[in-house]
Every structure is written in structure tokens, then in C-alpha cells.
Amino acid sequence: MIGDFDSSSNALWTLYGKEAKSHDEARIQTLKKDMDGVLIFVRSYFVYSYNGLYHADPIAPIGWFIFRCPHPIHSRQ
Amino acid sequence: MVYYLQHNVALLSQISQQISFIAPQLSLPSTPPPPFPAFNPSASNIRINVFWFMALIFSLSAALLAVLVQQWVRDYMHVFQKYSDPLKSARLRQYVHEGCEGWYMPVVAEAVPGLLHVSLFLFFVGLCDTVLNINTAVGISTTVPVGITGLVYIFTTFAPIIFPDSPYQNSFSVLIWYLAQKLRVRRYKDRSSDGTVKPVSSNIAEGQMQLAMEETEERKGRDERGIRWLVDNLTEDAETDSFLATIPGSFNGEWGEEVWRKVFETSTCMPLVGPSRAEKVWDVFCSTVRVLGLSGTRATHSPTNATTLRVLPAPRPLLNVHLQPGTAPIQGEDVVRILSRPVAYTLDTWRHRGLSASDEVWRRRTRACVETTTSLVCLANANLDKFGDIVKLLGDIGNVEKTRESSLVGMDQPFVKRWTCLSLMAIRWFLLDGNEQTSYLAMVAARVLEGEDIANHGQALTGVQKINVTFDKAWGCLGELRSALCLEYAMHEEVKQTLRDYEYHISELEHINIEADDLKQLDEAIFDVQSDFDTISHGITSRLPGVRLDDFYTEPIHFTQFVSWWQDRDQYQFILPGQKLKSLCSLAIMLRKLLQGQWDPEAYKEMTKNLEATGSMNLLSGLCERQLWRLQDLQCSGFGFTVELFFLTLKQLLSTSSSKESRSALYICTFRNITSQRSWNNYPLPLATQNLLLHMVASNDSIFSSFDFPDYIKDELLALLQNVFEGQTGPHIDDAVQWLSRQLPPYWRVRSYRRREATFWAKTFVVLTRARAQSS
């Protein structure tokens, strides 16, 4: 059987849309917040490690490192 | 980089050598710098780098995924804006939504923070490794906090698996929960399918839902704390009002009642949270230890024992219930106080409002108040005085809601039941408070019934005896006529012949009819008591289900009136004996007409049918005596009267109610309330009251022989009898015991004799004989 709803069913689907929207929005808001949290975390992490890279001390005994994290012991004099 | 460094060094040494060629006279020390040490990364260096680079990669991929997820989400939400046609938009949403779920988008999104956590811990491990290589002190002071953090993380991962209500969870607990549920670790009793045990859902959120809805003792506790929390947090009056309106609905059903009872029972100093989680953790720890066999047999606290104990019902102090109801500690007082204040206030405001049936708000409010008050009084043992004078309100709402009519057809049952119970209690306390008018009228009526010459002859019951003799005579004539006139005599002549033979009886009845006019004064006196009582109770008595008020018959009086009264005679507490006699004797008038030749076959047929319906046992003679007892009882606060009223209404309520066991708590509470010792203002109870009670349990015409009351209320009544008749003696008790002993089966038939009434009679017999024995 092939056919379709006619325009009189619009009320039902409007309701569906409304319900779905409120339902999805609630879920997606939490999802978005989670992702924002992740991004903020990673950014600070990355900035930190990039600084470490920039300040890397090439003559230090572990100069083999390219990536280093600054640490009181290793900070440049 | 290292390459460049080495290259620089090489270049510099080359330059130095060239300079020494150009200027040899300058004897510079031409020692070349020491060769750059060959670089050999140690194992720890490699480890550290592995950790840190992995950490970097993980965090960056988490960031990438986060950006992607945000983009997907944005795209997903575009669905709602793309099309204005609701059908298109809805279909697209469903399509996309199913894709989302099918492709586990939520799982991916859940995994992103997980990646970050992994990255962080990789970094931590690398960090610890680094600092441990450099300096032990710094290393340890770094490693220890990192270790603690790791342990906390592991705890939060597993906490929801062991304690599903734990708020501590992370991305990995979802995964572990899923795996655990695939192995069906946790099960629950499903509510929808008759408590079959099913594994909890593998989705953690859904699983929590299933466990929260599971029907357990803990859920009752949670419900109770929820309600108390709500009560605590209601601040504004408007909120309290809407709260009150919602209470009655929550009482329908056993669960609601039990929860409320707990709310009232629990003292408010109890915390508003369940058992501490620390205790739970400790319990789990202990049981684990026990399982591992480390604690041996010394474990004293076994959870299985505890549950068994809890399941066992507490032994009920059956016989002491009536002795100290007032002294029972009222706990949860605050809840009661908080609730009763607005109820009393609402009752007070609405009481003085003009009553109009169309006032929907008034109706709804009052209904809610009545139901709440009943519950408060019944379940929380609250004092009715707290609510002020509610009798008028009960009468008004009973009038509007047509409680009697609803009870007949079994409509609106929860409300009718609560209204009835509250009304009974209100009447009890109202009678007890001493309303002089009723007791005065009752006294007058009792005097009339006893006969005016009581002072002269010192003979009690003269009036009653006189009436009884008349009743017996009338009943005898009726019986003779009934057996003489059968339906078979359809022919006028036959009937006439028979009537001629029985003319003596007819004229006797006519004579009684004239005599009955003398009873008019008595009728009026009793009618006054009845109507006065109804007036001061604001019409409650005429609204109580299962109770009828007698009335003067309008002339001409018909025999059918007698028949219809006869069939419902249980429901009348007051009887106008003169009216009864007159309506009985109206038969004679009809028969006399027949005798004189006015033959109407239809009327005759109907008359014989009515005659058949009157039954063969003479139960009239006791009526007046009981009436006298009732009146005497009303003079001293009407204890027996109310108990009778209770059983009358209960009979009606139970006969229309679907299940006999339902609402037993409400009835028991009401019964205990109206029979509590606070309501006996003198002990021993007056003779009339004792007589009424004895009649109720031990007589052919008693309500207990015509209706099978449920056991819970029978037990309550027996307990009451035990208290009332303890140490009492008298011919009335002897009579009752004798009657009961006649009902008991002979000893050789005890085993086969299983009628429920007989069991009740046997119990009553035991109670009464024991009470009698105690006196001697």
C-alpha cells in the first residue's frame, strides 16, 4: 500500500516536531557542554605543552626531547 | 635538532682550526673542544616520551572528536529549521534520529571525555616517571597524589556497578555496566509483569530507573522521605493549598496509606536521606570479607537475618490497644502540625461561607480537607480538636455530595468511606463533649418508654413490656393470618370464608390499631430525639450510608410501609413503635374491606405477597427494649450508639465495595478512635451500653448474624468486649453467654462445623466467659 498523509495530519506532526525538538535539545545541550569542557581542557593542555616546547633547553642532558613540559627543575635559568 | 647542534659544534671547531692556520704566531691553545657526547636515550627516556606523546595524541584526538561532535550536533539540529512543512521535518528528524542511534552517536560522544581521561593519566604516569628519575623526594611527593587520584578514578568507575544509585560515574562505568549487565549481574522484580525477576537494562540510566521503580521496602522509605521533603519545603500558603488538594489522591491504595503512615510515624529528627552510603559501602566490604573467609564466623550482622526480621509482622498488642490510645507517642508531630494547620485554616474559612452547590471550588476544597483530615486522624493519630468544629462542614459536604446515595450504588467510594469514617469520629467526640439538648431529650423519651408510673411501682420496663405485649399480640395475629391466607385462594368466596373464620384476629388487630394511638406521645418523643440529633449533627446522621431515620407515616397508612420497614429494619436505630403498630394493623382494614365484599384480585395478590415477605420469626419484641437501651446510652454520651452506627455504616460500605479487605486500616483506625478509652467517660460502661453491645454480638436479630463482617473488625470488636466486660457480671452477660453456648456446635461436631459465624460466636463465648471468670 502506497500513500501518504494528507495535510490534515499536520497537527500530529507539528506536535511530534515540538516534542522531538524539546527532547533533542535537552540531550544536545548536555552533549555540547561536555564537548566544550573537553575543548577547554585540551586547549589549556596544549598551550601548556607548547610553552614547554618553546622553552625546551637544548643542552640539558635529556635534550633528545622535543616535547617537554616545563617543570621547576627543568626551567631555564 | 640534535643534528644541528652537532653540526654547529663541527663548524665551530673547523673555524677555530682555520683561524689557527691564518695566525700561527699566536700560540693559542689549540685543544679542540671535547667531542659531543654520543646520545644514547635511556629506557626511562623512551618510556617517558611514549607516555607523553601518547597523551598528546589522545588529547588532540579528543579535541578533534569534540569539534566533530559539535558539528554533527549542529547539523542534526538544523533538521528542525530546514523545512517548514511539519511532515517533512518530522520524517527527516525520525530518519536522522534513527541514524544517530543506529550509528551509536551517543556512545561516541560519551567516549570523548574518556579519551581525555586516558590522556591525562598517560601524562601523569609520564610525569611520575620523569620526576622519580630526577629526584626521589619530589618523585614520591608527586607519585602519591597521582596514585590517590587514580584510585579515586577507579572507584568512580566501579561505584555505579556496585551501588547503582551512586552519582559517581564516568565514561568507563557505562561500559562496565554494559558488560556486567550482559552477564546479568543485577536483577530486579518487574512491576508490570507480576514481579518476575528480570535482569536490569544494560543502559545505566534505564537501569537506574528500573531499580528506582522496583517495589521494595527501600522504595517505601524513599517515598516517605520524598513526602517529608515536600512538606518541609512548602513555604507559601498557596503552595500548601495545592499540596492539600493533592493529598487525598495519594491515599487511594494500600501503598499510599502505608507510606503516609510511615511519614507520620517517623520522628522528624530523622535525616531526610536514606541510610548513609558509607554504611552501605561498609556492609558490602564486610560481606566481601566474609565471602573471602577472612572474618570467619564472627560476623554478627547478616543482611538476610535482618530482612527476615523485618518481614515478620510486629506482634500486635490486641487487647491493650484500647487501654492506652491517648498515651501512644505521637511521632512525626511536625508533619502533622504542618498539615493540620492549613487544614484547620481552610476548614475555618470555608465553614462560614454560604453553601451553594454550584460552587465547585468550595466543593473540591472541602472534599480535599475532609479526606486529609480523615487520614491525619486515622494514620497520624491526630486529635480531632485540632481542626475545630467540623461537624457542620461534614454535614454540608455530605449533603452536596449525596454520600448516602453514592454509597448505595458504590460510586465515589474513597471519598464516601473517608467522609463516613470522619463523620463517625466527629459524632463520637461531639456526643462526648456533652450536648445537653440531646441527652435531655433522650432522657424524656426514655422516661416515656419506661412508663410514667415508674416512680410509683418501681418497676422498670413497664412501658416497654406493655408495648412488647402489644407487639407480640399483633405479630401473633399476623402470623395466623399469614398461614391462613395463601396465594392459592384466588377465589373471592374462599377467601371470604377463611376471613370469616379468622375474624377474631382481624378485630384484634383493629383493636390494637386504636390502642396504638396512645403511643403517639412516645413516637413524638423518639422522633424529637432523632430529629434533634440530626439537626445538631447538621444532617450527618441522615447522610450516613446504611443508616435510616424513621418518620411519621402520612395518612392513609399502608401495610406496604410496614413491609418495607421490616425488610430494612436493621438500618433504623430509632423506631416509632406507634407508627409501626399502625402500619401493621392497616392490614386489618384491608381485610375488613374484603370481608365486606370489596373484592380486588390484584390488591389481594399484592397483599398476600407482602404478607409472605414479613417472615415467620417474631423479632419485633426486642426492638423496643433496644430502643430504650439506645436512649439510655445517649444520655451518657452514646458509646454503644456510635458503635452500632459504625457497624451499620460499615455493613453498607462493605457490601458495595469491590474487595472486602480493602481499606481495613481506615476502618480499624476509626473503630479504635471511637472506642478508645478516652471516649469512655465512666467505667464500667452503663448497663444500657453493655446491653447494646451484647445484643450486637449475641442475638438472633443482631447485625452480626445477618452480615458476615471481615475478621479484622471482628477481632477489634472482641478486643473491645474483653475490655468492656472485664470483671463485669450480671444477668445480661449470663443471658448472652447462654445464647452463645446454644449456638456452639456439640463437641462431637466441632471438626465438621466450620461456619464463620460459629467461629466468631465461639470466640465471643470465650471472651465473655473469661471476663466473667475474672470477676469471681
H/E stretch holding B278: helix B277-291
Interface membership of A19 toward B (CB under 8 Å): no
What whole-number distance in Å separates Cα of residue B15 and Cα of residue B21? 10
pLDDT at residue B755, as a whole number: 61
What whole-number distance in Å separates Cα of residue B652 and Cα of residue B650? 5
DSSP, res B548? B
Q: Return the amino acid letter for B122.
A: L
Interface membership of B125 toward A (CB under 8 Å): no
Q: What 3 state SS string does B503-526 have?
A: HHHHHHHHHHHHHHHHHHHHHHHH
Question: How many beta-carbon pairs below 8 A join chains A and B?
Answer: 99
> What b/e sequence results for B96-114 when a residue is b if at least 16 CB atoms lie within 10 Å of its CB, and e otherwise?
ebeebeeeebeeebbbbbb
Interface membership of A31 toward B (CB under 8 Å): yes
B488 in helix, strand or coil? coil
pLDDT at residue B323, as a whole number: 32
Which position has the grid cell 611527593? B141
Min Cα distance A12 → chain B (Å) is 9
Size (chain A), residues: 77
> Are B2 and A34 inside 8 Å of each other by CB?
no
pLDDT at residue B437, as a whole number: 66
Which residue from B528, B517, B499 is spatially nearest to B577, judged by alpha carbons?
A: B517
Q: Which residues of A touch B49 (CB under 8 A)?
A: 65, 67
> Are B112 and A10 inside 8 Å of each other by CB?
no
> Are A20 and B93 inside 8 Å of each other by CB?
yes
C-alpha cell at B18: 682555520
Interface membership of B469 toward A (CB under 8 Å): no
ipTM above 0.85, yes or no: no
CB B575 within 8 A of CB B549: no
pLDDT at residue A73, as a whole number: 40
Q: How many CA atoms lie within 13 A of B288 on its CB side?
A: 7
Min Cα distance A24 → chain B (Å) is 8
What whole-number distance in Å separates Cα of residue B175 and Cα of residue B99? 21
> Are A13 and B89 inside 8 Å of each other by CB?
yes
> What b/e sequence results for A34-59 when a residue is b if at least 16 CB atoms lie within 10 Å of its CB, and e otherwise?
bbeebbebbeebeeebeebeeebeee
> Are A32 and B89 inside 8 Å of each other by CB?
no
What whole-number distance in Å separates Cα of residue A11 and Cα of residue A13? 5
Q: Return the amino acid letter for B123.
A: F
What whole-number distance in Å separates Cα of residue B156 and Cα of residue B150? 10
C-alpha cell at B454: 415508674
C-alpha cell at B469: 405485649
What whole-number distance in Å separates Cα of residue B629 and Cα of residue B614? 25
Among the partner residues B45, B60, B112, nearest to A35 by beta-carbon distance = B112
> Are A28 and B109 inside 8 Å of each other by CB?
no
B471 in helix, strand or coil? helix
Closest alpha carbon within chain A to B119: A42
Interface membership of B134 toward A (CB under 8 Å): yes
pLDDT at residue B633, as a whole number: 80
> Are B69 and A31 inside 8 Å of each other by CB?
yes
C-alpha cell at B393: 462542614
> Are B86 and A63 inside 8 Å of each other by CB?
no
Interface membership of B38 toward A (CB under 8 Å): no
> Are B66 and A42 inside 8 Å of each other by CB?
yes
> Are B86 and A10 inside 8 Å of each other by CB?
yes
What whole-number distance in Å separates Cα of residue A58 and Cα of residue A49? 16
Instruction: Tell which A residues from 49 to 68 touch B, by Cβ distance under 8 Å.
Output: 49, 58, 62-67
Supply the pTM of this predicted model.
0.66
Min Cα distance A71 → chain B (Å) is 9
C-alpha cell at B216: 521494595
Compute and round to an integer the Cα radius of gyration of chain A.
Answer: 27
Between the CA atoms of B642, B648, B652 and B655, what dihedral angle is there, to the nearest 10 degrees?
Answer: 120
> Are A39 and B66 inside 8 Å of each other by CB?
yes
Interface membership of A29 toward B (CB under 8 Å): no
CB B482 within 8 A of CB B612: yes
> Are B59 and A63 inside 8 Å of each other by CB?
no
Size (chain B), residues: 776
Which segments within B339-498 are labelled E, that is strand? none
Q: Which residues face B189 on adjacent strands? A: B197
Average pLDDT per consecutive 10 residues, chain B (776 residues; last block may be shorter)? 70 80 63 62 83 89 92 87 85 90 88 91 90 90 95 93 87 88 79 72 84 84 84 72 73 75 65 59 64 44 36 34 34 63 65 54 74 75 67 74 70 78 81 69 69 47 71 78 66 72 78 76 80 79 80 74 76 79 78 74 74 67 77 78 85 72 72 74 74 80 76 83 79 81 63 61 79 69
CA distances, B472 to each of B619, B624, B644, B732 (Å) = 9, 12, 25, 22
Which segments within B125-280 are labelled E, that is strand? 187-189, 197-199
pLDDT at residue B435, as a whole number: 64
> Are A20 and B90 inside 8 Å of each other by CB?
yes
Which residue from B690, B684, B701 is spatially nearest to B739, judged by alpha carbons?
A: B701
Interface membership of A43 toward B (CB under 8 Å): yes
Q: Which residues of B touch A62 (CB under 8 A)?
A: 45
pLDDT at residue B117, as a whole number: 92
